[in-house]
Amino acid sequence: MNPEFAPFEFKTLVNGKDTIVGADVEIAKAIAKELGVKVEFSAMSFNNVLSSVQSGKADLGISGISATKERQKVYDFSDTYYESVNVVIVKKSELAKYKKTNSFKGLSVATQKGTIQETVAKEQLTGAKIVSLVQNGEMINELKSGQVNGVVLEKPIAEGYVAKNDDLAIAQIKLKSSSSDAYAVAMPKGSSTLKKKVDKVIKNLKSK
């Protein structure tokens, strides 16, 4: 996972120790329990999460991963567990400037490398220059310092950053999202037995 994605996976101090926590961590633990194994979390940049599953370095990828049609060609995915919506974060002082999808014409917008937000921004923010960065924290810093004018993230993640940064706000811009943007657990192709177990866990957690 890429634990820079609160509330799904992020690092925090637990009893003085740097620990990965969040909703995806709870899902992973529940899957491990169902399988009768001990889960080991491996932190990496998001653009390496899916390739680690493909190469077998990781057994599962859980990282707020959207189960897009394209990714479905390469990976098996569990049933989805969260519907995502994309938003644009801007500086609070510039909120009035960005009201439409073409408001970023000729300006820079940051997205996280390897995410669907790269495509969402390219396709929907007409005329914007898309800057792909590896870390979400880096995107936020570049927005605060004025190197980029907007950051595209999914709503709960964006709200987390806005809550911690007085100078930022979510723009009143409507971005389209597709049903295949919903989050699911990624597995290597041919994981039908594993998928059944993972789906059972997700169904259980959803009904709680």
> Can you give the binding site for ligand ARG, defined by CB under 6 A?
2, 5, 9, 46, 63-66, 84, 112, 115-116, 154
Residue 116 vs 169, nearer CB to ligand ARG: 116
Q: Which is nearer to ligand ARG, 95 or 113 (CB)?
A: 113
Residue among 63 and 149 whose Cβ is closer to ligand ARG: 63
SS (H, E, C) the chain: CCCEECCCEEEEEECCEEEEECHHHHHHHHHHHHHCCCCCCCCCCHHHHHHHHHHCCCCCECCCCECCHHHHCCEEECCCCECCCEEEEEEHHHHHHCCCCCCCCCCEEEEECCCHHHHHHHHHCCCCEEEEECCHHHHHHHHHCCCCCEEEEEHHHHHHHHHHCCCEEECCCCCCCCHHHCECCEEECCCHHHHHHHHHHHHHHHCC
Would you say 95 or 114 has its CB closer to ligand ARG? Answer: 114
Region for residue 197 given its phi and psi (left: phi exceeds 0; alpha: psi -120 to 50; beta: otherwise): alpha
Instruction: Output 115 or 124, the one with its CB closest to ligand ARG.
Output: 115
Q: Rounded to the nearest whole angstrom, what is the least distance from the CB of residue 63 to ligand ARG in the complex?
A: 4
Closest approach of ligand ARG to the CB of residue 116, in Å: 4
Shortest reach from residue 36's CB to ligand ARG, in Å: 26
Least distance to ligand ARG, CB of residue 23, Å:
11
To ligand ARG, the closest distance from the beta carbon of 181 in angstroms equals: 7
